[in-house]
Amino acid sequence: MNQQKLRRDRTPLYLKIAEVMRQRILRGTWKTGELLPTIDILMKEFQVARITVREAVKILEAEGLLDPRRGRGTLVLPHASPTRPLNVVTSLSALVDLYRGDLPDLVSLDDSETKLPLPVAFGTPALRYHMLRRIHSRGGESYCVITLYIAKEIFDRHESALRTKLALPVLFDDPDMHIAIARQSLIVSKCDMETSTLLDLPVGEPMAEVRRIMCDKDGMIIYLADVIYRGDYVQLDMDLLA
């Protein structure tokens, strides 16, 4: 482990080391029932003092991940797998199926008529859009901030449903809406101050920024969504032979 990387910001070293160790446990690098490497080995790997490693172990002990046993080593305890309920899929129908029946808690941040944010990679903007900006959460934990732009004519047809449900299944089931183009892009970035407040994340934590655009047969953009997901809620799973 590169000591220079660990010391790059002002986060206490024991917190950074605890996070590295936490991820090794949650990803199965250190398996349930196994003993951790000795403190001397961890000191050498992380190039830190003994007390720093011990502080990191204390954090994970408090989280129920580790059980330090004097004279016998530190045991990895049984734990739940990390929650990654949002699988990034690569087709519109699969994306709609992923959201169909999903009922996260929705907290509205903005609800207004507006124009489409420019520039866009493709498609022709409609004259007016209705914008919904909200936070999605499960079990009291906020996992994404989404800003939806829906062509005003389409929004007016489904206003009640769009304010209370996830938008994609509502729009996909509209027999009068013909989607000719649907594209999604994803970039990995770092949490800024605003997102930190909305999703209760430390500034600089990884997050996924997704943009989805759907156009009708005339190339008009009827739906645009900018979504910011917590990094620990997203999983990319692709069939490379499909």
Q: What is the mean pLDDT of residues 74-96?
A: 76
| pLDDT greater than 70 at residue 79 | yes
Band of residue 6 on the pLDDT scale cut at 50, 70, 90: low
Band of residue 86 on the pLDDT scale cut at 50, 70, 90: low
Tell me the pLDDT tens digit for each residue of 168-188. Answer: 999 999 998 899 999 999 999
How many Cβ atoms are within 10 Å of 167's Cβ, its own excluded?
A: 20
CATH number of 86-236: 3.40.1410.10
Cβ neighbours of residue 129 closer than 8 Å, sequence gap 6 or more: 113, 114, 115, 116, 149, 150, 151, 152, 155, 224
Q: What is the pLDDT of residue 232?
A: 80
Q: Are 213 and 120 in contact (CB under 8 A)?
A: yes
| pLDDT greater than 90 at residue 89 | no
Cβ neighbours of residue 25 closer than 8 Å, sequence gap 6 or more: 60, 65, 66, 76, 79
Q: What is the pLDDT of residue 125?
A: 96
Cβ neighbours of residue 20 closer than 8 Å, sequence gap 6 or more: 1, 46
Helix (H, G, I), strand (E, B) or coil at 139: coil
Tell me the pLDDT tens digit for each residue of 102-139. Answer: 788 999 999 999 999 989 999 999 999 999 999 999 87
Q: What is the pLDDT of residue 226?
A: 97
| pLDDT greater than 60 at residue 241 | yes
- Which structure tokens are listed for 13? 């070293």
Q: What is the mean pLDDT of residues 142-161?
A: 95
Helix (H, G, I), strand (E, B) or coil at 204: coil
Band of residue 99 on the pLDDT scale cut at 50, 70, 90: confident
| pLDDT greater than 80 at residue 238 | no
Q: What is the pLDDT of residue 180?
A: 94
Name the maximum alpha-carbon separation found in the chain: 72
- Which structure tokens are listed for 221? 């953009």
3-6, long-range: CB < 8 A, 24+ apart: 3/46, 3/47, 3/48, 6/46, 6/47, 6/48
How many Cβ atoms are within 10 Å of 10's Cβ, its own excluded?
A: 5
| pLDDT greater than 80 at residue 88 | no
The residues spanned by each domain of the chain are 3-76, 86-236
- Placement of tokens 């590295």 in the chain: 20
Q: What is the pLDDT of residue 45?
A: 93
Q: What is the pLDDT of residue 71?
A: 85
Tell me the pLDDT tens digit for each residue of 195-232. Answer: 999 998 888 888 999 999 999 999 999 999 999 999 88
Q: ω into residue 82 within 30 of 0, thus cis?
A: no
CATH number of 3-76: 1.10.10.10
Dist CA 25 CA 21 (whole Å): 6
Cβ neighbours of residue 240 closer than 8 Å, sequence gap 6 or more: none
Rounded to the nearest integer, the mean pLDDT of the chain is: 88
Whether 3-76 and 86-236 share one fold: the answer is no
First and final C-alpha spacing in the chain: 37
Band of residue 40 on the pLDDT scale cut at 50, 70, 90: very high
Q: Are 96 and 225 in contact (CB under 8 A)?
A: no
